Amino acid sequence: MKKQLLIFLSILAGLNLPSFGQTGFEKLYAPYVNQGNAAFSVVPSVQSGYIITGTLNDGYGNESLLLMKIDPDGNIIWTKDYGQGDYGQGKCIRQTQDNSYIVCGSAGEGSFILKIDENGDTLWTRIISPNGYTSHALSIWPISDGGYIMSGYIAVPPLSTAWVLIKTNSIGQLMWSRQYGDPHYDYMAIAVRETSNHGLITTGERSTQNGDSSTLFLAKTDSLGELNWVKYFGSTISSGESVLQAPDGGYLCGGMIEEYAIVIRTDPNGDTIWKKQLLPDPSTVYSLYADSDSTFICCVNSYSSNTFVELMKSDLSGNILWSQSYTQGLYHYGFDVEGTPDGGYIIAGEKKTYATRMNSIYIIKTDGNGSITDVDRHLPAPGNIVNLFPNPNRGDFRVESNGDFDQMEITDLLSRTLFCDRLDVGSGLHKNIHLHDQQPGVYFLKLNKPGGGSLYQKFIVW
């Protein structure tokens, strides 16, 4: 086996192939090709690659929780569909103190909290309905005592919704919950984090019950959820989406005010130090990432005629150090940005396909300047998405696509055909492949279209 591996590495050394340590990619995924797919949150894996959470949607309002792991080059390692409709959207994923992962979202009439291992297998799960009311968790944060804090919203009879904080212990058991707000308004707490003094900082929106206007709010509580202060910004269409603590103990809040992407910096008491509008068109800051003590990253979505995702780096005075935009005009959205082990950034989101309602997961990986330098910058049309996973593999893998193909072929580096099969046109592609007795090396999947043309996917057998 060692000799085979040395031969394989020697072959690779002589090939002009893209580097597997690439600095960037931009990819669409449809791991479940007959359903809509969306990603809302991403976290670097403890071992390697990234773990993503989101939702599957059949286009008729039925949702289930999706988890997916990709390697550093963006190839799918595994996917998980949890609950078959019992769980809704996976809204947020974080790494835990014991190097596992915690996920939150909505499950029926309650909020779910789910702990998984590196393989996506469930360690435990809880469904929480504070006071018996319907609640929806939107964000989760591991806190210093080993437990977790979730934020979201909860139905309050007879008509309104309040924003809610839910505290659990290390195994997801409810410790306390608190709800906040005025019964004349509806509220959502969209993001929450623990502060340096073990309090909690939350941002979200307060909206009129007829839905014609909304206000961004920023709120600080102590460790038990007792409200210290709350501040409001904007008067028409405004919302807080992400929050960070600044090095001086103040806060950075991202969202939109009067339909425009905004970052607000406050002092520790929530009083404004500065506000900065980031784009001239209708837009939202969906995510902030603390890059260092003196800079932070903004993931911005524009909703103008040229829809696009923009990544910006700023210092603590609000000066933009650089800005990069991605895939204009194609209904692509980025909802979460995180730093990567190589000093770059990864964005999780979705590509909307309004005609079919079958959206795709959209992932961007950049270098430290927000640039994408890999050949995978090109995004295929939805019907041309091919998922081959796991990759690398040991000869056993699955191929899925929502495109139409009439033939599948697998070849080696010398163009020798190892596998060939006719396919049924019009039924999509869902096929398990078993390659036996193949040497470790690089192989190619070729899918032929009925009207001519082919798609290729490189994969590794080790």
Q: Over range 43-63, report the average pLDDT.
A: 87
> Beta strands 63-70 and 407-411: pairing type?
unpaired
Say whether pLDDT at 19 is over 70: no
CA angle 391–65–303, rounded 5-degree value: 90
Greater pLDDT, 286 or 30: 286
Say whether pLDDT at 223 is over 90: yes
Greater pLDDT, 202 or 358: 202
Q: Where in the chain is the domain with CATH 2.130.10.10?
A: 26-381
The encoded tokens of residue 377 equal 């910058």
pLDDT value for 5: 39
Q: Which of 1-10, 134-143, 322-331 has the highest mean pLDDT?
A: 134-143
Per-residue pLDDT tens over the stretch 245-296: 999 999 999 999 999 999 999 999 999 999 999 998 899 999 999 997 789 9
Residue pair 258/251 in contact by the 8 Å Cβ criterion: no
Fold of 386-461: Immunoglobulin-like (2.60.40)
Q: Over range 165-189, report the average pLDDT.
A: 96
Per-residue pLDDT tens over the stretch 393-430: 888 888 887 777 888 999 887 778 888 988 887 767 88
Lowest model confidence (mean pLDDT) among 277-286, 321-330, 373-382: 373-382
pTM exceeds 0.75 for this model: yes
Residues 251, 270: Cα–Cα separation, whole Å: 7
**Percent of the chain, pLDDT > 70?**
85
pLDDT value for 412: 81
Say whether pLDDT at 2 is over 60: no
Confidence tier at 84 by pLDDT (50, 70, 90): low
Fold of 26-381: Methylamine Dehydrogenase; Chain H (2.130.10)
Q: Over range 180-207, report the average pLDDT.
A: 96
Say whether pLDDT at 11 is over 70: no
Greater pLDDT, 434 or 94: 94
Sign of CA dihedral 222, 226, 228, 230: positive
Mean pLDDT (the chain) is 85
Per-residue pLDDT tens over the stretch 199-214: 999 999 999 988 789 9
